[in-house]
Structure 1
Amino acid sequence: MHKAIKNKSRLLCGLKNSKADLTTAKFILYYGPTVADSDIYDLTDFQSLLEDEHLDLGKNTVLYLHGYLEDPDVESIHVIAEAYLERKDTNLIVLDWGELADGNYMFDAFPNLKQLGPELAKVLLKMFDHGLDIEKFHIVGHSMGGQLAGVLGREITKRTKGVRKLKRISALDPAFPLFYPGTHLSASDAEFVDVIHTDAWLYGAPTSTGTADFWPNGGYSLQPGCPKRNYKMLSDNDLSSHRRSWWFWAESVSDRYPIGFDAVPAKKWSDFKQNKIVENCPPVVMGHHCPTTIHGDFYLQTNGHTPFARGKEGTVYVDPKDLLGNTRSITCDCPSEKTN
């Protein structure tokens, strides 16, 4: 009886291993000009990926990790891919772990992530040995993908006894449930870890968890332009604030918009609202161009729809009712997405 109760407790805590088929995970290399232009490789076939004519090992390389219930057909990956395809200086590889990120969050996706992380770290280390430059390698992850990025960083450091360490991890509203309290993304997982919080304490991480943490609009629901929550879990309405993190990231990657996500350091949101910012610290920019020399918490305001960035105007608090598009739902500006 006691053994059965103990096993059930481990399952409820998301600690029991599930039968995950890690071979379903794939690398997708997007080379453009559209998202339909891509090459797909098994994780074990990384050598063919490295030899792909569309992969330029002299450029920076981004590995994007999607979130729970997502796959390559969802809006977030298309938006992210289209943004990177506008650039000429970056290779984009997306990890399709859709089958492993499916099912029940606690019983399936969470333990699958724990199993996938170490195996993927082994593959990345082999890729670094065969030509992929770790100095030009950057992992970006949304939601559970942000937490998976942390696992990869920890595993790479552990397996090389500190000889190798990821240069940068960017986590877009990294997942909250089951990770806090517990083992989660942290500043030690890479030389620089920047985090964008948009749905703290609900779907997203509740506290500062990186080297530099950005809190647009306070970092909580509701983000400007998002509809009032109906609390139907994983619905478009309920996920609107959580998804804003990747919308912000994609806009920062794209060269389409000249205005950036300027942010200022402050101890907390209420201080930012009262213009009590950390002295002698100039504004920095959130997103792709974030300087990797900063640390601490940074605050800003955004518009309610694209373009979200407000530049320097976003570093001085204004009443949210006065923000561009604040009363409009994101679904008015962007096609509906079925997952987070």
Structure 2
Amino acid sequence: MHKAIKNKSRLLCGLKNSKADLSTAKFILYYGPTVADSDIYDLHDSKSLLEDENLNLSKNTVLYLHGYLEDPDVESIHVIAEAYLERTDTNLIVLDWGELADGNYMFDAVVNAKQLAPELAKVLLEMFDHGLDIEKFHIVGHSLGGQMAGIIGREIFKRTKGVRKIKRISALDPAFPLFYPLGGHLNANDAEFVDVIHTDAWLYGAPTSTGTADFWPNSGGTLQPGCPKRNYKMLSDNDLSSHRRSWWFWAESVSDRFPIKFDAVPCKSWSDFKQNKTMETCAPIVMGHHCPTSIHGNFYLQTNGQTPFARGKEGTVYVEPKELLGNTHSNICEAPQTIVK
């Protein structure tokens, strides 16, 4: 399921160029029961997408944006799609921008993301004009896709002079390099509600609070429980393990097969969380798909080191990492068990 990434060092050094043709981006509508059951549409053929019999406009619709060096064949999209296909209340559309997310990160992928996002905003506005309900629309993005989600939200607000605003953006460890502290990064104003899950802060992921609600599982940084000791070989499976954990958490939260949720508590810092110094809150807070959109601030929790990752209320009281299920820091990166059967 996982597609090997080749010549990673060459990509980062700029020795390989990616195509900048925005028309290579495609919409993929997953309707199940498996990920093989999907329909593909050109970016500018939204009319046909809206007329697809497998798209139910009365349901919620999620647009998922993958990250750097990814395409529909990678594990993350399969895991995310399988989780959503368990639900009966949500349409899932994935943006395949694999060719544009390729190449050198600085000179190709980031530049392409910043060019593609305004075009995608334009297409989405056309879709909102022709039946897609913006009130039921949710963008979820991982890494560079998380930053692109923010640009899309900004563009929609700007193009409509503040009349329209995306209801919710969920960013899964949004990309750090070239976005912080330079500005232009995902922020709380990009949608009515922006929730962020941090799992690799200061390395591949955003280092600071950047949304309406920011979740910091296991402190929000490397190493996440169950991840192998980093070998610092750029973009290797070992090196990306904590960064990828954000979409594993998200997929588990989407699937209602697991009764235990990602309970979290508001704290001023990870240090306060460890000392059980939580701030007062009225309602139970959960990280992920079911996160209440009325909250704001920083929230902390602990997770297991393998699926099921969620620990429920137990995850809101600090324990030593060695006590967490599956918290073995081996030198071999083994993917967690699949979220769905």
TM-score band, normalised by the shorter chain?
over 0.9
| In 2: Cα distance, 1:19 partner to 1:94 partner | 20
Counterpart in the other structure of 1:334: 336
| In 1: Cα distance, 2:284 partner to 2:237 partner | 33
Counterpart in the other structure of 1:154: 154
| In 2: Cα distance, 1:304 partner to 1:291 partner | 25
TM-score (norm 2): 0.92
Counterpart in the other structure of 1:132: 132
Q: SS in structure 2 opposite 1:98? A: coil
Matches within 5 A, 1:176-215: 176-181=176-181, 182-215=183-216
Contact 2:307 2:337 in 1 (8 A): no
Tell me the amino acid that sits aligned with residue 290 of structure 2: H
Q: SS in structure 2 opposite 1:165? A: coil
Tell me the amino acid that sits aligned with residue 298 of structure 2: D
> Are positions 1:292 and 2:293 aligned together?
yes
Matches within 5 A, 1:258-337: 258-327=259-328, 331-334=333-336
Deviations 1:217-264 (A, max 9, x none): 000000000000000000000000000000000000001100000000
Q: SS in structure 1 opposite 2:44? A: helix
Counterpart in the other structure of 2:7: none
Counterpart in the other structure of 2:48: 48
| In 2: Cα distance, 1:125 partner to 1:25 partner | 17
Q: SS in structure 1 opposite 2:73? A: coil
Q: SS in structure 2 opposite 1:248? A: helix
Contact 2:265 2:285 in 1 (8 A): yes
Contact 1:304 1:328 in 2 (8 A): no
Count, aligned residues = 321
Matches within 5 A, 1:46-195: 46-181=46-181, 182-195=183-196
Contact 2:19 2:100 in 1 (8 A): no
| In 2: Cα distance, 1:137 partner to 1:281 partner | 27
Tell me the CA shift for residue 280 of structure 1. Answer: 4.0
| In 2: Cα distance, 1:171 partner to 1:217 partner | 17
| In 2: Cα distance, 1:283 partner to 1:272 partner | 16
Tell me the amino acid that sits aligned with residue 312 of structure 2: G
Counterpart in the other structure of 2:217: 216
Cα RMSD (Å) of the superposition? Answer: 1.6
| In 2: Cα distance, 1:328 partner to 1:106 partner | 31
Tell me the CA shift for residue 201 of structure 1. Answer: 0.3
Q: SS in structure 2 opposite 1:332? A: coil
Deviations 1:161-200 (A, max 9, x none): 0000000000000000001112100000000000000000
Pair 280,72 (structure 1): closer, same or farther in 2 beyond 3 Å: closer
Q: Which runs of 4+ in 1 moved over 2 A?
A: 279-283, 328-336
Matches within 5 A, 1:223-242: 223-242=224-243
Tell me, which stretches of 5 or more residues in structure 1 are unaligned?
1-11
Pair 151,280 (structure 1): closer, same or farther in 2 beyond 3 Å: closer
Counterpart in the other structure of 2:3: none
| In 1: Cα distance, 2:278 partner to 2:284 partner | 10
Tell me the CA shift for residue 332 of structure 1. Answer: 3.1
Tell me the CA shift for residue 282 of structure 1. Answer: 4.3
Counterpart in the other structure of 1:5: none
Q: SS in structure 1 opposite 2:58? A: coil
TM-score (norm 1): 0.92
Tell me the amino acid that sits aligned with residue 154 of structure 1: R
Contact 1:265 1:281 in 2 (8 A): no
| In 1: Cα distance, 2:286 partner to 2:29 partner | 28
Contact 2:199 2:217 in 1 (8 A): yes
| In 1: Cα distance, 2:281 partner to 2:113 partner | 41
Tell me the CA shift for residue 328 of structure 1. Answer: 5.6
Q: SS in structure 2 opposite 1:44? A: coil
Contact 1:154 1:189 in 2 (8 A): yes
Tell me, which stretches of 5 or more residues in structure 2 are unaligned?
1-11
Tell me the amino acid that sits aligned with residue 218 of structure 1: S
- Please identify, of 96-105 and 282-291, the stretch whose mean Cα deviation from structure 2 is larger: 282-291
Tell me the amino acid that sits aligned with residue 310 of structure 1: R
| In 1: Cα distance, 2:168 partner to 2:303 partner | 24
| In 2: Cα distance, 1:151 partner to 1:170 partner | 13
| Percent of aligned positions that are identical | 86
Deviations 1:304-323 (A, max 9, x none): 00000000000000000000
| In 1: Cα distance, 2:241 partner to 2:336 partner | 11
| In 2: Cα distance, 1:66 partner to 1:301 partner | 25
| In 2: Cα distance, 1:335 partner to 1:266 partner | 31
